[in-house]
């Protein structure tokens, strides 16, 4: 990883090479992917604002996670800011470990991603995966997941298939993030038992009185990280844009703030990201280190003019 980062830095600091490469048609448009998760919508919005301010066009396609990895392998997607680990370990082993997809940088630390329950379910005694089967009838033997093909869903399916935690007769309900959370809201209003995929950063941690279950560390880990991935060869082909993407590191508070702005004020992610950057211009120094506009001009001036 260190050798890779040093190579990217050297390419990015070699301004003549970077400008020429990023002037090529293949670098003019940066193709990102969004699996329909609010946290990735937030970070994509930040990346789009910065890239467009630097003179790039940005195309963000909404794709299921397996399609995103296939797109990275085939070159139809340039970068993905949502490689949640260890939840996506299977995709890491299939695409990244063998070099089909490149891991560019870690962009977030300290995430949580596992089954969760409302506070009243927790207080009733459901605090671990092993507690779920004791209340099977109250849960209607259902685990609520996110979109089909998501790595976390695949882990839940494996748990059911193996009858781990005596969950062999349970059913995984797959739906979009928004539909899952709407189901949780309905259950909470009626004080019904429900267990669902929860993660942080996400506004659900503020909106809902919820707790994460222990016991699922084998599949979801205890704490995790999120990485930025690129198609093979992208940092060498488009070193300036890749340098910016490698520099982009986020915090739980930052992502939660942007997502809360979207939820509370009913604004778009692009608007929320722009408002956050206006209030936190100090992050630009690190994010823009070794980066220029696509045409080689000062990146800081271009971003500040946009804001």
pLDDT per residue over 31-81, tens digit each?
999 998 999 999 999 999 999 999 999 999 999 999 999 999 999 999 999
DSSP reduced 3-state for 47? helix
In the chain, list all ranges with CATH 3.40.190.10. Answer: 2-110+223-306
For the domain made up of 2-110+223-306, give the CATH fold: D-Maltodextrin-Binding Protein; domain 2 (3.40.190)
Report the C-alpha gap between 219 and 165 in whole angstroms.
13
Which of 242, 226, 223, 243 lies closest to 234 in space, CA to CA? Answer: 242
Degrees to nearest 5, angle at CA 118 with 115 and 122: 85
Average pLDDT over residues 212-241: 94
Q: List the structure tokens of 265.
A: 């004020």
Decide: 70 and 232 in contact? Cβ < 8 Å: no
Average pLDDT over residues 279-297: 95
Decide: 242 and 235 in contact? Cβ < 8 Å: yes
The correct CATH number of 112-220 out of 3.40.190.100, 3.30.2130.10, 3.30.2350.10, 3.40.50.970 is 3.40.190.100
Average pLDDT over residues 195-215: 92
pTM over the 0.95 mark: no
Report the C-alpha gap between 69 and 62 in whole angstroms.
13
Say what the pLDDT of residue 272 is: 95
DSSP 36: S
Residue 79: phi, psi to the nearest 5? Answer: -150, 150
Say what the pLDDT of residue 23 is: 66
CA distances from 94 to 29, 82, 90, 97, 197 (A): 27, 16, 6, 7, 24
CA distances from 294 to 62, 143, 257, 302 (A): 25, 47, 29, 11
In the chain, list all ranges with CATH 3.40.190.100. Answer: 112-220
Residue count (the chain): 307
With b meaning 16 or more CB within 10 Å and e meaning fewer, what string describes 273-302? bbbbbeeeeebbeebbebbbbbebeebbeb
Share of residues in the chain with pLDDT > 70 (%): 93
């Amino acid at each position: 990883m260190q050798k890779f980062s040093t190579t990217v830095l050297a390419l990015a600091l070699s301004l003549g090479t970077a400008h020429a490469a990023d002037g090529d048609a293949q670098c003019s448009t940066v193709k990102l992917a969004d699996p329909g998760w609010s946290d990735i919508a937030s970070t994509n919005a930040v990346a789009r604002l910065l890239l467009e301010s630097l003179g790039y066009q940005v195309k963000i396609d909404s794709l299921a996670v397996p399609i995103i990895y296939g797109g990275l392998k085939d070159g139809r997607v340039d970068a993905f800011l949502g490689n949640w680990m260890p939840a996506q370990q299977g995709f890491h082993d299939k695409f990244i470990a063998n070099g089909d997809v490149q891991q560019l940088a870690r962009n977030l630390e300290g995430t949580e991603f596992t089954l969760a329950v409302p506070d009243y379910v927790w207080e009733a005694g459901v605090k671990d995966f092993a507690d779920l089967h004791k209340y099977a009838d109250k849960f209607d033997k259902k685990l609520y997941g996110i979109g089909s093909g998501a790595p976390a869903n695949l882990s839940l399916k494996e748990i059911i298939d193996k009858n781990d935690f005596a969950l062999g007769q349970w059913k995984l309900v797959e739906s979009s993030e928004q539909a899952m959370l709407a189901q949780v809201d309905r259950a909470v209003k009626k004080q019904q038992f429900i267990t669902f995929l929860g993660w942080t950063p996400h506004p659900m941690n503020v909106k809902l009185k919820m707790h994460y279950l222990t016991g699922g560390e084998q599949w979801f880990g205890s704490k995790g990280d999120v990485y930025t991935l690129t198609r093979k060869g992208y940092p060498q082909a488009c070193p300036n844009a890749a340098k910016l993407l490698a520099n982009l590191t986020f915090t739980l508070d930052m992502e939660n703030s942007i997502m809360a702005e979207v939820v509370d004020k009913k604004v778009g992610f692009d608007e929320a990201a722009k408002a956050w950057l206006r209030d936190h211009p100090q992050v630009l120094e690190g994010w823009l280190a070794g980066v220029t506009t696509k045409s080689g001009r000062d990146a800081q001036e271009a971003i500040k003019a946009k804001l």
